Amino acid sequence: MVLYKQFKLCLLLSIITFSSVANANVRNTKQQEFIDVATLLPTALFDIRYYSSNNFVGKPIDGYKSAKCLLHKTTAYALQKAHKQAQLAGLNFKIFDCYRPQRAVDHFVRWVNDPTDLVTKATYYPNLGKDELLGGYIAAKSGHSRGSTLDLTLTDSEGTELNMGSLFDMFDTLSNTDDLRITTRQKANRYKLKNIMLAAGFAPYSMEWWHFTYKQQAYPNTYFDFVIE
């Protein structure tokens, strides 16, 4: 009986170990499907905000060990097509964020739940309380973690950002694509970006003019957490 129980225990441990290794192999295989977008868009501009302190948290974010824009290859190639269209119009992309590890999203949620940290309020959420940011602006699960969502803007040929009427990551209705307070030119600039991305197969997010998701997501139900290195 003792030998039988030991055998069952060894068998169970073997199954658990095999399952863990198998799952790790699957995750690693999927991670290999992600592309450093700079290799496809060598002339695009990259300002990966969460690698630095220049963001709404005011600190570098967990999981960003490198200032890279990673996307699943299907999304990256679609973005390459969009970039070519922007270039034909004499414009360029400036990219703020792409794949976002789940641990970074968790960092955002911890920040939201700290009512004492208001260092960036005047710049990023002047008209809202922190408790109003969860949901529409900050979610516990982000499409960015699926590898098919990115944040970006347009620049002119000299690298100057087009006037979009609000800062990237400004948590305010002013950032809604069709907010009535923006000027005719600012709205036209937003629609230049929106139309370029729509033509390449990306869906906009009406609350944030900079946010786009590739419609044919490779992993619509998976939230990755590998570090950006």
Catalytic residues: 208
Whether residue 211 contacts residue 204, with contact meaning beta carbons closer than 8 Å, is answered with yes
Nearest-angstrom CA–CA distance, 134 and 44: 31
Could you tell me the sign of the dihedral formed by the alpha carbons of 123, 128, 134, 139, in that order? negative
- Integer Cα distance of 62 and 155 in angstroms: 28
